[in-house]
Structure 1
């Protein structure tokens, strides 16, 4: 008898929060491991995860903006 795997069993590395075993699906945070998953329900903990994810997104945008300014051709000085 074969058992179907839960959708969490195939979590891609890019879906994880900064390489951690934490994944956001919809409005919920999940802790994922080889032995199973656990829904994070503590409001203090999930609030910190929300803030951390927002800070990471802001940092990624700042780095992308810096890289974009470095790849623009510089004006020649006269």
Structure 2
């Protein structure tokens, strides 16, 4: 299984967006690039954690579907 990677787009309903590999602070007045390396490193780590969590949930759903196919009477 490959390592999760952050997706382009908004991060977990936060006012930050990953576009073209760069973080942007997004607001009603417009967008500005996030330039603080410490801040963008935290955003990268959080985005990777979210991607890993999304992948883990997807894997659980696949396993659950496979188990229900083996035992059609199983409860969910």
Q: Which residue of 1 aligns with 2:41?
A: 47
Q: Which residue of 1 aligns with 2:56?
A: 62
RMSD across aligned C-alpha pairs, in angstroms?
A: 1.8
Secondary structure in 2 matching 1:23 = strand
Higher Rg of the two aligned structures: 1
Moved over 3 A (4+): none
| TM-score normalized with structure 1 length | 0.73
Secondary structure in 2 matching 1:65 = helix
| TM-score normalized with structure 2 length | 0.75
Structure 1: unaligned runs, 5 residues or longer: 1-13
Deviation at 1:27, TM superposition (A): 2.3
Deviation at 1:38, TM superposition (A): 1.5
1:19 and 2:13 correspond: yes
Structure 2: unaligned runs, 5 residues or longer: 1-7
Pick 1 or 2: higher relative contact order, CA cutoff 8 A, min separation 6: 2
Deviation at 1:21, TM superposition (A): 1.1
Contact in 1 for aligned 2:10/2:17 (Cα 8 Å): yes
